[in-house]
Amino acid sequence: MSREDPDVIDSVEKAFRLLQAFSAEHPTVTVSEAAQLTGLTRATARRILLTFTRLGFAESTGREFRLTPHVLRLGYGYLNSQPVAERAQPHMRALADKLLESCSMATLDASEIVYLARVPAARSMSITLSVGSRLPAYPTSMGRVLLAALPPERLQAYLDGVELRKLTPRTIDDAEALRAELERVRQQGYAVVDGEREEGVRSAAAPVRDASGAVIAAINVSANAARVSLESLREEFVPHLVATADAVSRDIGFDGARAVS
């Protein structure tokens, strides 16, 4: 993880690295644990944790440090500059209510999708993915929609770099087969994924476009395969989903009348 790029301020890289060491498994860390999790020296880890504490981003109870809600400020500038997440929420809520299934929005970050918004199904009592959650792009419907919109050279870079793992027996794990599927997604304007990331989960996704016509996010509907057949996903869900994604696009300034390649 150590870098020698002269344009990177070393202590900033290390601070960001340490900040990301906190997780569900490590809600609190000691100086030693922080050093171990990040590969930093104990002295550096200690100084960074003290900096976080002085700036209000962490608090310590004796030897243990934990993050404070102050850290949400760091990602908030991004969310705030993406009005799509807030604009989409009521549309997503209406879709989730109509289809009685959960509805999510995500964007692409390198090889992963990142959830920007989520509306759980009305009846669901399950604990689910929420804002900031990440999944690999290739086996997910939202990932396929977002990958399908990449310019050819960026898609090629993705395919060159990604490790396609067979997460279920159905996962497309061949780069050329994935490229063909992405071309189909691009042409039909939506993606359908049937149990490729997790068996028994089907989902469909459609693109959200900004005023320039660029695909900036995807919205999906995800359902239990035991409850929703592939046919009803395609024939009943997809039209509503595409209409919802289009409504969100119009809401953020996309003029649907203009042709989009």
DSSP code for 257:
T
Q: Which is nearer to a copy of itself, 180 or 243 (CB)?
A: 243
Considering only residues 46-65, where is the footprint of a copy of itself by CB under 8 A? 47-48, 50-51, 54-57
Nearest to 119 by CA among 221, 224, 252, 228: 221
Closer by beta carbon to a copy of itself, 79 or else 175: 79
2 belongs to the binding site for a copy of itself (CB under 8 A): no
Member of 4, 61, 62, 126 binding a copy of itself (CB under 8 A) = 126
For a copy of itself, the binding residue among 41, 76, 165, 212 (CB under 8 A) is 76
Query: Cα–chain-centroid distance for residue 261?
Result: 24
Question: Which residue number, 121 or 172, has a Cβ lying nearer to a copy of itself?
Answer: 121
Among 43, 63, 64, 75, binds a copy of itself (CB under 8 A): 75
Q: Answer whether 139's CB lies under 8 Å from 193's CB.
A: yes
What whole-number distance in Å separates Cα of residue 159 and Cα of residue 70?
37
Whole-number CA gyration radius for the chain = 21
CB of 82 to a copy of itself, least distance (A): 8
Answer for which of 36, 71, 135, 260 binds a copy of itself (CB under 8 A) is 71
Provide, rounded to whole angstroms, the least separation between the CB of residue 172 and a copy of itself. Answer: 24
Closest distance to a copy of itself from the beta carbon of 165 (Å): 22
The yes or no reply on residue 247 touching a copy of itself (CB under 8 A) is no
What is the Cα–Cα distance from 134 to 223, expressed in whole angstroms?
A: 19
Pairing, β 201-209 against β 215-224? antiparallel
Q: Which residues in 7-46 contact a copy of itself (CB under 8 A)?
A: 7-9, 11-13, 15-16, 19-24, 26-28
Q: Is 253 in the site for a copy of itself (CB under 8 A)?
A: no
Q: Give 173's DSSP letter.
A: -
Q: Which residues pair with 183 in a beta bridge?
A: none
**Amino acid making up residue 47:** R
Give the bridge partners for 109, in sequence order.
112
